[in-house]
A and B are shown apart, each in its own frame.
Chain A
């Protein structure tokens, strides 16, 4: 198969590969691209399955300042200061005790993910996530943190915090419930597959640049961006075809 044009070839910038060139390279080396993607996905899936399952539970604590704070940034700064005053090693020890945690403070801290929030509707507070090996354990730990945090805020009393604003009220807005299974193996596999496809694609382009053989007319046209007027078979082989 050849392509012909009615005119001589016009010069064309070739700084970036065209979409058709990219698609052609990926298609011609699809085994490599898909293979790398599947291999990485498989490894990630295996890794995720061999690891212990993870259950995530979330509790929400509402914290309302007594005075008015303008803007989300001011409210977030206020919440961080509240957290800084409330969360201590002693407080965390109490949380672990209530949650029935036995594996040590470091492992507990690695699974704990408290995050302040300030919504546009004026709501503000703390979102507490805990990743546990069992659903009940995750919920217990998240709730224990939320409850001890509320107690800690109450203990602050009328102490002035950011901008001289005292804390008015803190309460557990939403208790954590057992059951939130985080399908980590699948997430790992999907992310790894995506990364694998990108990696395989990059490898395909590297190999394509170093290749010395030409596959077909399309290959030549995309590489040179010049029309192929003819293809001539190796007649030393053709001679013996009969």
Chain B
């Protein structure tokens, strides 16, 4: 897949190594990879519109650009954005891997060298029950074996708090807040709730700074 084929200019910007925002993502990648045991990271936000999918794409591309292997798995089953942002169909993906014996590698595609993207795939049943499928844990952990960093583009914090798999099944949570769209009290409540649930809250990304 070439960058020029991308329909969304924002996604092109995030994946382009020459993009002016790339070094911000590289700094984020450095800091995140510097945290111990951060192989599989759940990326969430206090509410919608904070830019979780953009952060996942930019961060994944930065990690790939640093010569490491990254993957993004779209776990936002109720409002999947990743394939839309990339202008790709959603015929196969995470849910496909749960239904057959193939790996997530098989159901994803590389958008830039070293960055695998796995969309949600078709959602035929209750998204919440899909997220609680133990197969997700196995599939993502298996994917981790071939990737330095796996980013799970997760639902908002409320959805993560309702999902035992996302809460405790992986290495930690990265909270995305938007500088102008995320209310402070909502962010504070989300951080408090995640910490109270025993989540390993790795840190915060402040998105959309002026």
Report which A residues bind B (CB closer than 8 A): 2, 4-9, 11, 14, 208-209, 211-214, 216-217, 220-221, 223-239, 241
**A9-B205 contact, Cβ under 8 Å, with A230-B25, A236-B10:** no
Q: Specify which chain B residues have a CB less than 8 angstroms from the CB of A211 in the assembled complex.
A: 184
Cα distance A227–B172 in the bound complex, in angstroms: 14
Q: Contact at A239–B13, with CB atoms within 8 Å?
A: yes
Q: Contact at A229–B203, with CB atoms within 8 Å?
A: yes
Q: Specify which chain A residues have a CB less than 8 angstroms from the CB of B187 in the assembled complex.
A: 223-224
Q: Contact at B172–A8, with CB atoms within 8 Å?
A: yes
Q: Does B162 contact A (CB under 8 A)?
A: no
The one of B36, B179, B184 that contacts A8, using a Cβ cutoff of 8 Å: B36
Q: Can you list 20 residue pairs at the A/B interface with Cβ under 8 Å?
A: A2-B27, A4-B30, A4-B34, A4-B35, A8-B35, A214-B177, A223-B184, A226-B175, A227-B203, A228-B203, A228-B206, A229-B28, A229-B31, A229-B32, A229-B205, A230-B31, A231-B209, A232-B205, A233-B21, A239-B20
Cα distance A223–B54 in the bound complex, in angstroms: 23
Q: Contact at A9–B201, with CB atoms within 8 Å?
A: yes
Cα distance A95–B202 in the bound complex, in angstroms: 79
Q: Contact at A224–B204, with CB atoms within 8 Å?
A: yes
Q: Specify which chain A residues have a CB less than 8 angstroms from the CB of B184 in the assembled complex.
A: 208-209, 211-212, 214, 223
Instruction: Give chain A nearest CB distance to B10 CB in angstroms.
Output: 7
Q: Specify which chain A residues have a CB less than 8 angstroms from the CB of B31 in the assembled complex.
A: 2, 4, 229-230
Measured CB to CB, the nearest residue on chain A to B187 is A224
**A2-B28 contact, Cβ under 8 Å, with A229-B174, A231-B205, A241-B20:** yes
Measured CB to CB, the nearest residue on chain B to A1 is B27
**A226-B210 contact, Cβ under 8 Å, with A235-B10, A235-B14, A238-B20:** no
Q: Specify which chain B residues have a CB less than 8 angstroms from the CB of A8 in the assembled complex.
A: 35-36, 172, 200-202
Which among A217, A224, A227, A234 has the greatest number of chain B C-beta atoms within 10 A? A224
Q: Specify which chain A residues have a CB less than 8 angstroms from the CB of B121 in the assembled complex.
A: none
Q: In chain B, residues 1-32, which have Cβ atoms closer than 8 Å to a Cβ of chain A?
A: 9-10, 13-14, 19-21, 24-25, 27-28, 30-32
Beyond A230-B32, A233-B210, 13 additional contacts (C-beta under 8 Å) are A2-B31, A4-B31, A6-B36, A8-B35, A11-B196, A212-B184, A213-B179, A214-B184, A233-B21, A233-B208, A234-B179, A234-B209, A239-B9
Please give the number of chain B residues whose Cβ is less than 8 angstroms from any Cβ of chain A in the complex.
Answer: 49
Report which B residues bind A (CB closer than 8 A): 9-10, 13-14, 19-21, 24-25, 27-28, 30-32, 34-36, 51, 54-55, 58, 172, 174-175, 177, 179-185, 187-188, 191-192, 195-196, 200-210
**A235-B36 contact, Cβ under 8 Å, with A212-B183, A229-B174:** no
Cα distance A232–B205 in the bound complex, in angstroms: 7
**A226-B204 contact, Cβ under 8 Å, with A8-B36, A232-B209, A235-B14:** yes
Measured CB to CB, the nearest residue on chain A to B171 is A8
Instruction: Give chain A nearest CB distance to B177 CB in angstroms.
Output: 7
Instruction: Give chain B nearest CB distance to A237 CB in angstroms.
Output: 7
Cα distance A221–B31 in the bound complex, in angstroms: 15
Q: Contact at B24–A6, with CB atoms within 8 Å?
A: no
Cα distance A114–B62 in the bound complex, in angstroms: 80
Q: Contact at B25–A5, with CB atoms within 8 Å?
A: no
Cα distance A232–B179 in the bound complex, in angstroms: 9
Cα distance A9–B199 in the bound complex, in angstroms: 9
Instruction: Give chain A nearest CB distance to B36 CB in angstroms.
Output: 6
Cα distance A211–B172 in the bound complex, in angstroms: 28
Q: Specify which chain B residues have a CB less than 8 angstroms from the CB of A220 in the assembled complex.
A: 177, 204, 206
Q: Specify which chain A residues have a CB less than 8 angstroms from the CB of B200 in the assembled complex.
A: 8-9
Q: Contact at A217–B14, with CB atoms within 8 Å?
A: no
Q: Contact at B203–A5, with CB atoms within 8 Å?
A: yes
Q: Contact at B27–A234, with CB atoms within 8 Å?
A: no
Instruction: Give chain A nearest CB distance to B48 CB in angstroms.
Output: 15
Instruction: Give chain B nearest CB distance to A69 CB in angstroms.
Output: 63
Closest 8 CB pairs of A and B: A230-B28, A229-B203, A4-B31, A229-B31, A8-B200, A235-B21, A231-B206, A227-B203
Instruction: Give chain B nearest CB distance to A226 CB in angstroms.
Output: 5
Cα distance A214–B177 in the bound complex, in angstroms: 9
Q: Contact at A14–B14, with CB atoms within 8 Å?
A: no
